[in-house]
């Protein structure tokens, strides 16, 4: 049975939107820092094309370490903080999770550095004398694992404002450290890595200082096992998601050149604005509030969230993909960025579309979280990662960076549709797939029209492209998958006392 008209989503839905907006402030700061860093990282005076490719590989490896070193303990905190069965241990959960994560991260980082430091230097940096850089990137990963517990505590205690402030602060520190080490001291790749370490130290320290005064500083060893039991299977899912998101950098290094890795990485950063502004901010809020609604037996918000997310994020995907080319041209002409990076225009749309599908996956996977089907989640994401690997092997040799982007899009789409269908089968939710098709067709048609304007003058090109972006919503209405009353309903529930049904 579907929860359709008549079902209501009141304050929880408004909180999802409000908290998503607040989280997006921090995520926008992340992307703004990336844009501020572009004149440094993409300027051959401070970092060569190959060095930027090496930096991309180091940061991808850091993400891998962050996912594995903490074995999912911070995710367990998300699940059990609101679980009535752990009410007696709730006050000890955060500190226990913090200590356990710190011990594990330090131990894993030490083992990796001692056993595989030299090999990682050769594999990632094509040099046997780069062991120290591997050590610093492991320090950065350890700091991020420790900080992840404090950041999760901010989420489960509904403090998105403080979360956003910390993210903004971390990005400001990153920019300042990069300027000091790379511009003032000319340290190149080493300076870039050290800047990330300094920013990670600031993040871990400041977030811990926000959490510690609010929690009990007592350990409860009895909660470690359930935290690990819940979170560890999700490490497999997280690793698979990591492969889907960034694992193709390794494939590009193997099948092409290091400079191509850098080109694809920056194109993915631009396309990843969708992930930071919409997907991550939405997921950060919806993961908590959606689980609470699920525990109460209410699924109407899940259906409504998918429909409105698909439409509004789809518009942003279109706008970003159309305007990225002109924005990159400004960086090249005004800020000394190498013209090589103008090639990102071929990857922005498929990368952004992939993250669009990833957001829909998060709506569906929230249902599986509520059902404690974490092993099922791990299997699905692992399957998508293997599918992505096969697609990369087929597409990269033929299309280069574009092939990697297309492989990611197709894999995320398959993951989203499969998870949506399974969630429908296991619950009473009837997700509306028509809206996904309507948005996808509208975006492709308008983007294709925009691509014909590359040779036009700046004034004509920008004017027509802005017009095409504005035509998105009328085109969506023409598909009849989303109507004027749907827009009105979405605006109505944002007002005090407003409500929105599950359609």
Name beta bridge partners: 501.
Answer: 8
pLDDT at 289: 62
Residue 300: the pLDDT is 65
Mean pLDDT of 108-115: 96
Name residue 8's beta-bridge partners: 501
pLDDT score recorded for residue 4 = 39
What residues have CB less than 8 Å from 126, skipping those under 6 apart? 54, 258
The dihedral of CA 407, 380, 439, 249: what is its sign? Answer: negative
Residue 1 lies in a domain: no
3, part of any domain: no
Confidence of residue 298 (pLDDT cuts 50, 70, 90): low
Tens digits of per-residue pLDDT, 142-179?
999 999 999 888 887 878 788 888 988 998 999 999 99
Q: What percent of the chain has pLDDT over 70?
A: 82
| Whole-number pLDDT of residue 497 | 46
What does the alpha-carbon distance between residue 46 and residue 332 come to, in Å, rounded to a whole number? 15
Q: Which of 279, 422, 297, 404 is nearest to 350 (CA)?
A: 404
Give helix then strand counts, H and E, for the chain. Answer: 20, 2
268 assigned to some structural domain: yes
Of 20-24, 31-35, 478-482, the least confident: 20-24
Which parts of 212-257 fold into alpha helices (H)?
A: 224-245, 248-255
**pLDDT of 244:** 77
In the structure, what pLDDT confidence band is assigned to residue 319 with cuts at 50, 70 and 90?
very high
Does the pLDDT value for residue 112 go beyond 90? yes
Q: Per residue in 325-362, is it b (16+ CB within 10 Å) or e — as a string?
A: beebeebeeeeebbebbebbbbbbbbbbbbbbbbbbbb
Instruction: At 100, list the tokens.
Output: 């356990």
Task: Look up the domain containing 315 and give its range.
Answer: 8-501
CA separation for the pair 251, 130 (Å, rounded): 21
Whole-number Å distance between alpha carbons of 347 and 350: 6
78-82, 456-460, 479-483, range with the lowest pLDDT: 78-82
- At residue 477's C-alpha, the angle toward residues 471 and 483, to 5°, is 140
pLDDT reported for residue 115 = 95
Residue 18 has pLDDT above 80, yes or no: no
Q: Map residue 6 onto helix, strand or coil.
A: coil
pLDDT-based confidence at residue 81 (cuts at 50, 70, 90): low
Q: What percent of the chain is modeled with pLDDT above 90?
A: 46
CA–CA separation, 124 and 361 (whole Å): 31
pLDDT band at 500 (very low <50, low <70, confident <90, very high): very low
Across 358-377, average pLDDT: 80
Domains of the chain: total: 1
Question: How far apart (Å, rounded) are the C-alpha atoms in residues 131 and 120?
Answer: 8
444 within some domain? yes
Q: How many CB atoms are closer than 10 A to CB 214?
A: 12
Q: Which 3 state secondary structure label does DSSP give 182?
A: helix
The residue-averaged pLDDT of 46-69 equals 93
Residue 400 in any domain: the answer is yes
Task: Give 360-416 as a 3 state SS string.
Answer: HHHHHHHHHHHCCCHHHHHHHHHHHHHHHHHHHHHHHHHHCHHHHHHHHHHHHHHHH
Lowest mean pLDDT among 3-7, 26-30, 277-281, 389-393: 3-7
| Through-space distance between the first and last CA atoms of the chain, rounded to whole angstroms | 14
Whether 2 maps to a domain, the answer reads: no
- Report if residue 72 sits inside a domain: yes
Q: Which one has a higher pLDDT value, 71 or 402?
A: 402
Structure tokens, 301 = 């918000």
pLDDT at 372 over 80: no
- What is the mean predicted confidence (pLDDT) over 417-444? 88
Residue 18 burial class via C-beta count within 10 angstroms: exposed 0-12, middle 13-18, buried 19 and up? middle
Quick check: is 186 in a domain? Answer: yes
Q: How far apart are CA 342 and CA 325, in angstroms?
A: 7
If you average pLDDT over every residue of the chain, what do you get?
84
Instruction: Return the minimum-mean-pLDDT range out of 32-46, 75-89, 255-269, 384-398.
Output: 75-89
Cα gap 395→398, rounded to integer Å: 5
């Amino acid at each position: 049975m579907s929860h359709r008209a008549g079902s209501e989503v009141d304050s929880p839905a408004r909180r999802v939107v409000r908290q998503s907006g607040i989280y997006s402030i921090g995520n926008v700061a992340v992307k703004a820092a990336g844009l501020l860093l572009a004149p440094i990282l993409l300027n051959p005076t401070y970092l060569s094309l190959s060095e930027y490719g090496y930096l991309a590989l180091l940061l991808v490896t850091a993400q891998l370490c962050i996912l594995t070193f903490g074995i999912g303990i911070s995710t367990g905190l998300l699940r059990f903080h609101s679980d009535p069965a752990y009410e007696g241990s709730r006050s000890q959960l955060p500190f226990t999770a913090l200590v356990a994560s710190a011990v594990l991260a330090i131990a894993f980082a030490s083992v990796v550095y001692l056993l595989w430091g030299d090999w990682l230097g050769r594999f990632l940096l094509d040099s046997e004398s780069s062991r120290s850089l591997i050590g610093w990137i492991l320090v950065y990963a350890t700091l991020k694992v420790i900080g992840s517990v404090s950041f999760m505590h901010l989420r489960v205690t509904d403090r998105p404002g403080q979360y956003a402030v910390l993210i903004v602060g971390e990005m400001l520190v990153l920019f300042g450290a990069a300027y000091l080490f790379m511009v003032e001291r000319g340290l190149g790749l080493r300076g870039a890595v050290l800047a990330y370490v300094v920013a990670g130290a600031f993040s871990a320290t400041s977030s811990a200082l926000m959490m510690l005064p609010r929690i009990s500083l007592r350990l409860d060893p009895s909660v470690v096992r359930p935290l690990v039991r819940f979170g560890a299977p999700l490490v497999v899912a997280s690793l698979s998601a990591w492969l889907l998101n960034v694992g193709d950098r390794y494939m590009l290094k193997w099948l092409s050149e290091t400079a191509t890795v850098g080109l694809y990485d920056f194109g993915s950063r631009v396309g990843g604005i969708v992930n930071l502004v919409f997907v991550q901010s939405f997921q950060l809020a919806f993961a908590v509030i959606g689980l609470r609604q699920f525990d109460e037996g209410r699924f109407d918000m899940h259906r409504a969230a998918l429909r409105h997310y698909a439409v509004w994020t789809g518009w942003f995907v279109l706008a970003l993909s159309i305007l990225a080319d002109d924005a990159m041209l400004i960086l090249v002409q005004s800020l000394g960025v190498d013209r090589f990076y103008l090639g990102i225009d071929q990857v922005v749309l498929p990368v952004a579309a992939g993250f669009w599908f990833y957001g829909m996956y998060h709506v569906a996977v929230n249902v599986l979280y509520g059902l404690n089907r974490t092993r099922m989640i791990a299997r699905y994401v692992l399957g998508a990662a293997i599918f992505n690997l096969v697609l990369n092997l087929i597409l990269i040799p033929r299309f280069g960076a574009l092939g990697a982007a297309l492989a990611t899009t197709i894999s995320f789409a398959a993951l989203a549709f499969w998870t949506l269908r399974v969630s429908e089968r296991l619950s009473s939710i009837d997700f509306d797939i028509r809206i996904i098709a309507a948005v996808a067709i509208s975006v492709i048609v308008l983007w294709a029209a925009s691509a014909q304007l590359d040779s036009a003058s700046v004034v004509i090109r920008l004017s027509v492209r802005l017009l095409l972006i504005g035509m998105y919503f009328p085109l969506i209405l023409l598909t009849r998958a989303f109507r004027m009353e749907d827009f009105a309903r979405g605006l109505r529930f944002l007002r005090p006392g407003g409500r929105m049904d599950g359609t």
